[in-house]
Structure 1
């Protein structure tokens, strides 16, 4: 039984690493598409368009199309609106910043999740996690170096807004997930986002060479695979176990930035990134400790 559990955890970790590789590759493709003349709206439209057949095939191989029926259509519309807003900032940060720096700012997601949990969901947050939040933002200041002119301030703001919206999406999914399966949520987000993106795209239609079209299609396919791998990873291993794998994106972001764009992270990024990462990991570890403590407390109460 323990062996099976171990194999399941390793499968979850492997899927998470694959997902992060795909997301990092997608970011590099987005930046590459811009150099070939593609706009932000184009990349967002093709990201969602070509993910639909991937997600649909996954559903067909699993629970079947009947599983996409939902009684919470309004909740999916809300998730789509939040997700599209977040996607604008996420893609925008990739276009405005070097890949390594855009990736580093995404590591602030646990920090924003803690803030939102305390302010919006009224979750109890002790000094351990508040301390980690303060230290994490100190790391952001080290990376961004505000006032120095070395780091685009607008790009930094867009990158932090991207991380904020990822945290908002996580909270939204937590609420939707009480009644909806992951496949249902991913399907409706992909489908419902196409009409507004299609309208915006209609005003920016332009011709491209075949390499650019291949690039745009690859953004959607790779992004769809990443989304499915992220979803599947938490089926085999706890969230607190797989989240540390997300920090491998800094390796890929640095590698792609150097290989494709000849960009290398600044010394301040190398200094600030470990601080942000340590802050995020501490928040994840602290939540794990509290979860175990609350579970044991509930078990003791039930036993007595």
Structure 2
């Protein structure tokens, strides 16, 4: 164990069934959050509000998790500015991701978001000096071809929505690269704690200009955004302590199934065949990179920025 760590990190435990179950719960939470965000937009909520209440109402599950683990020193850190950088990147990508959900159908917004690992792979070469082979670069090219198919240049999808979704995916990739550095000295709970605190405070600063009165149903949606997103993030983090990433990552694509289902049930959306074709290319390209062994270890990260 490195002597530079702020707190001892708990050992990994091997229970693949439990890890998979937790990952399924996490993906369900994120899918509910995405669908609820679109419903909240339809009932008058703004993007700054959805971001703020996602963070605010994500605090109770986080504090409950900390109490359950009895990790009372979770707030201790030796790298406060690293948390500020991670928080700024995460808040920016979260804001873009939530905005994309308001501009695009659920299936298309979710599909484009899955290009984030390919962005991270491309960034790992110049920033982290990781060796990226020809096979990985081919996978990146195939994945971005899938994105172009989903975007359907000249089609019906709004260009601003697709560009914002791509920006959100790039932001998630930047967060992934930042996490590879910060996780060398900080525990996962410390990273999640300071990210949630940072985003809550930063997004709260916008409420005097963007906060509005809502009816009871809209408030229920805003609360559900925070609870589902917060619980999803905690389950995802916990899953990585029981099963390897290679066993869990394919489960993430269940979110596409949820997106199509919720989009059809709640909004009457029917994805075009190009969305399915592009999603298939993106999924294949990302999964093909999972056997790659980077020079530097990649720590657990979150589907959320």
* TM-score scaled by length of structure 1: 0.90
Distance 1:6 1:75, change over 3 A: closer
Q: Which runs of 4+ in 1 moved over 2 A?
A: none
In structure 1, what is the Cα distance between the partners aligned to 2:267 and 2:36? 11
- Aligned-residue offset at 1:185: 0.9
Report if aligned partners of 1:110, 1:283 keep a CA contact under 8 Å in 2. Answer: no
In structure 2, what is the Cα distance between the partners aligned to 1:6 and 1:248? 24
Which shifted more, 49-58 or 63-72? 63-72
- Higher radius of gyration, 1 or 2: 1
- Tell me if 1:41 matches 2:48: yes
In structure 2, what is the Cα distance between the partners aligned to 1:54 and 1:131? 40
Structure (1 or 2) with the greater helix fraction: 1
Aligned to 1:22: 29
Aligned to 2:235: 229
Aligned to 2:257: 251
| Cα offsets for 1:189-223 (capped at 9, x unmatched) | 11112222111111122211111101101100111
In structure 2, what is the Cα distance between the partners aligned to 1:274 and 1:24? 19
In structure 1, what is the Cα distance between the partners aligned to 2:24 and 2:175? 21
Of the three residues 196, 200, 219, the one matched with 1:194 is 200
| Paired residues for 1:215-226 under 5 Å | 215-226=221-232
Please provide the CA RMSD for this pair.
1.8
In structure 2, what is the Cα distance between the partners aligned to 1:150 and 1:197? 32
Distance 1:122 1:294, change over 3 A: closer
- Aligned-residue offset at 1:294: 11
Distance 1:89 1:294, change over 3 A: closer
| Cα offsets for 1:33-80 (capped at 9, x unmatched) | 000000000000000001112101101110422232112111111111
Report if aligned partners of 1:16, 1:230 keep a CA contact under 8 Å in 2. Answer: yes
Distance 1:145 1:56, change over 3 A: same
**Gapped regions of structure 2 (runs ≥ 5):** 1-11, 298-305
Which shifted more, 68-77 or 34-43? 68-77
In structure 1, what is the Cα distance between the partners aligned to 2:271 and 2:27? 19
Aligned to 1:299: none
In structure 2, what is the Cα distance between the partners aligned to 1:176 and 1:118? 18
3-state SS in 2 of match to 1:138? helix
| Cα offsets for 1:1-49 (capped at 9, x unmatched) | xxxx997012111111111111011000000000000000000000000
Of the three residues 38, 63, 67, the one matched with 1:60 is 67
Report if aligned partners of 2:13, 2:241 keep a CA contact under 8 Å in 1. Answer: no
- Tell me if 1:77 matches 2:84: yes
- Tell me if 1:142 matches 2:149: yes
Aligned to 2:130: 123
Aligned to 2:57: 50
Aligned to 1:300: none
Report if aligned partners of 2:96, 2:165 keep a CA contact under 8 Å in 1. Answer: yes
Report if aligned partners of 2:130, 2:296 keep a CA contact under 8 Å in 1. Answer: no
Aligned to 1:179: 185
* TM-score scaled by length of structure 2: 0.90
Of the three residues 258, 263, 272, the one matched with 1:266 is 272
How many positions carry a matched residue from both structures?
286
In structure 2, what is the Cα distance between the partners aligned to 1:204 and 1:166? 25
3-state SS in 1 of match to 2:129? coil
**Gapped regions of structure 1 (runs ≥ 5):** 296-304
- Aligned-residue offset at 1:119: 2.1
